[in-house]
Amino acid sequence: MSVVVVGSVALDSIKTPFGERSDVLGGSATYFSYAASFFTDVKVVGVVGKDFPARHLQLLKKRGIDLAGIQTADGDTFRWSGYYEKDLNEAKTLDTRLNVFQTFKPVLPETYRDADAVFLANIDPDLQLEVLTQVRRPKLVAADTMNLWIATKKNRLTELLKRVDLMVLNEGEARQLTGEAGLVKAGRRIQAMGPDYVVIKKGEHGALLFCRKNVYPSPAYPLEDVFDPTGAGDTFAGGFIGYLNKMGNRLTDDVLHRALFHGTVMASFTVEDFSLDRLKKVKPADLLARFRALTRAVALKS
Amino acid sequence: MSVVVVGSVALDSIKTPFGERSDVLGGSATYFSYAASFFTDVKVVGVVGKDFPARHLQLLKKRGIDLAGIQTADGDTFRWSGYYEKDLNEAKTLDTRLNVFQTFKPVLPETYRDADAVFLANIDPDLQLEVLTQVRRPKLVAADTMNLWIATKKNRLTELLKRVDLMVLNEGEARQLTGEAGLVKAGRRIQAMGPDYVVIKKGEHGALLFCRKNVYPSPAYPLEDVFDPTGAGDTFAGGFIGYLNKMGNRLTDDVLHRALFHGTVMASFTVEDFSLDRLKKVKPADLLARFRALTRAVALKS
């Protein structure tokens, strides 16, 4: 079992009410792959610049993540800088420098093409579609998107949605994509656009999983200290899809529901420190402990 | 077992993206008592004006709700008018006319004073404290509050909190009261101010229940059509506290957790129509069906 992820590998500069950091490891493919590596084999497709610190790639390699699909291009690595205000709900962007990402064309190494799952992080739908031409017979195609593509490339995104089994996006994107204020309606509308399964991420308020018939709401893992929410959504997707992949991409309600919990637990670590600083200290026993705690906290004793 | 509720009985004029109504039955004591009446005996303390339609009192009476503590004063009934924008998250007040509520002094009939539970809805903390002098030995004292009292009567509210077992308030109020942006920290801070148990209501995002040791997050009941959220919080409190009262005010984690689900289910009906229009069609079997559906939707299959 293996999952290919295509997305950004970035250097983030972030300010929260609790501190700030410059040029720390970030990017959707980074968070996703690190989280998914707890469950399955992960192969990354992305690009970094000549300035990208080798120790960041080492960190991923140590988790057994396959980096054969990471190109190193002339120029600087993609950089994002932003800040959060007191409620931490919304990232405000200060600056986005695409740098080497601007001309990025994903190329899947031959060893990637038989992967049985693909996660298309929130890159340009043209690139997401391009990746789908390079994989042979994935059993599971999952994707994310963002406000920019909904606003500027709705047609291509609509095309993509028809080819996606599982769409993972946040509540603002779900509303923007469908024009529905209510999230249950929005999720059902997105399903009607193609994906059999949809997850709407709500940050500190948890997530909604839409299966064919049932809707499963899940709260976030309750934390006293949330430090920096950057990467939480991609970490969630990594835990979610990593677990699905481990389970043979068997998309039953029960497996998807468990995946929702694994994603939630995984994201709860990311927000406890900047970058991957908390996540990289996580051991399988920590995941299990929070998975059990969350299970107990939401289910009534029978 | 019986619960005394003191709060507003009102005529609301409401506009939502889906329609509008003038002078419909509303008020915290109304929603609370109707919801709680599915679980236990309810005794209301409140005031209405000479203009208050008799049919509204009939509706409550038909549910077996004791109205001996409702005063009819010279003047008009308390009126609130407001509207909701597309996301329905926040009520915007257009006008509040206290009318007979301005000079309201709660007086508990002798038959109310031995009630074993009291719910002090979001009225002036001076009146909430006054009610506590009139009950003899309640086993459970629960209260709500609102932004106005946090801003203008913090000292009296602090006094009240020391005498409350269970505080029920919304997320904005919890943040305002504690200065904490994070809700888990806010809940713990409120517990430190007195109440052993706290519920933070998050509207469409559910609620957080704080027990002595554990925190229980619960999503809202997933609905496709939310029509008017007015009264949802008080309905939630009615289901929550009505159930606790039915269970002998036994404040174990398990009973409180079940109460959280009953409150959530009850509120899910209120938001499906204006005023009590949906709630008044609810049958015990409807409650049970949603309780079971919610239980299934949040708990993993074991």
Nearest CB to A222 within list B87, B208, B261 = B208
HEC string for A148-208? HHHHHCHHHHHHHHCCCCEEEEEHHHHHHHHCCCCHHHHHHHHHHCCCCEEEEECHHHCEE
Tokens of A69: 């699909």
Q: Under an 8 A CB cutoff, do B217 and A202 touch?
A: no
CA distance B140 to chain A (A): 22
Say which CATH number the domain at B294 has: 3.40.1190.20
User: Can you give the residue range of the structural domain that contains B279?
Assistant: 2-145+233-298
pLDDT per residue of chain B (302 residues) written in tens, 0 to 9: 999 999 999 999 999 999 999 999 999 999 999 999 999 999 999 999 999 999 999 999 999 999 999 999 999 999 999 999 887 878 899 999 999 999 999 999 999 999 999 999 999 999 999 999 999 999 999 999 999 999 999 999 999 999 999 999 999 999 999 999 999 999 999 999 999 999 999 999 999 999 999 999 999 999 999 999 999 999 999 999 999 999 999 999 999 999 999 999 999 999 999 999 999 999 999 999 999 999 999 999 87
Nearest CB to B217 within list A184, A224, A298 = A298
Instruction: Establish if B88 belongs to a structural domain.
Output: yes
Q: Cα-Cα-Cα-Cα dihedral of A19, A49, A129, A202, to 10°?
A: 0
Strands A2-6 and B140-143: unpaired
Q: Under an 8 A CB cutoff, do B300 and A297 touch?
A: no
Q: Under an 8 A CB cutoff, do A219 and B225 touch?
A: no
**CA separation for the pair B201, A224 (Å, rounded):** 17
Q: Which amino acid is at A215?
A: V
What's the mean pLDDT when you consider all of chain A? 96
Q: In chain B, whose CA is at the least distance from the CA of A203?
A: B205
The gap from C-alpha B162 to its chain's centroid, in whole angstroms, comes to: 20
Are A120 and A144 a contacting pair, CB within 8 Å? yes
pLDDT the model gives residue B89: 79
What confidence tier does A87 reach under pLDDT thresholds 50, 70, 90? confident
pLDDT tens for residues A178-235? 999 999 999 999 999 999 999 999 999 999 999 999 999 999 999 999 999 999 999 9
Name which of B227, B300, B302 to mutate to probe chain A: the one with the most chain A Cβ atoms within 10 A of its Cβ: B300
Are B174 and B187 a contacting pair, CB within 8 Å? yes
CA distance B63 to chain A (A): 29
Report the domain count for chain B. 1
Q: Under an 8 A CB cutoff, do A188 and B261 touch?
A: no
SS3 A91: strand
**CA separation for the pair B279, B272 (Å, rounded):** 8
Q: Under an 8 A CB cutoff, do B222 and A205 touch?
A: no
Instruction: Establish if B152 belongs to a structural domain.
Output: no
- Sort residue A179 into left (φ over 0), alpha (ψ -120 to 50) or beta: left
Question: Which residues in chain A have their CB less than 8 angstroms from residue B291's CB?
Answer: none
pLDDT the model gives residue B245: 98
pLDDT the model gives residue B88: 84
Question: Which residues in chain B have their CB less than 8 angstroms from residue A254's CB?
Answer: 300-301
**CA separation for the pair A140, B169 (Å, rounded):** 43
Instruction: Establish if B274 belongs to a structural domain.
Output: yes
Q: Under an 8 A CB cutoff, do A181 and B214 touch?
A: no
Instruction: Establish if B206 belongs to a structural domain.
Output: no
Q: In chain A, whose CA is at the least distance from the CA of B252?
A: A301
Instruction: Establish if B85 belongs to a structural domain.
Output: yes
Instruction: Establish if B169 belongs to a structural domain.
Output: no
Query: pTM for the whole thing?
Result: 0.95
Closest CA to B205 of A214, A80, A50, A218: A218
pLDDT at A77 over 90: yes
pLDDT tens for residues B215-273? 999 999 999 999 999 999 999 999 999 999 999 999 999 999 999 999 999 999 999 99
Q: What angle do CA B142, B263, B164 make, to 5 degrees?
A: 10
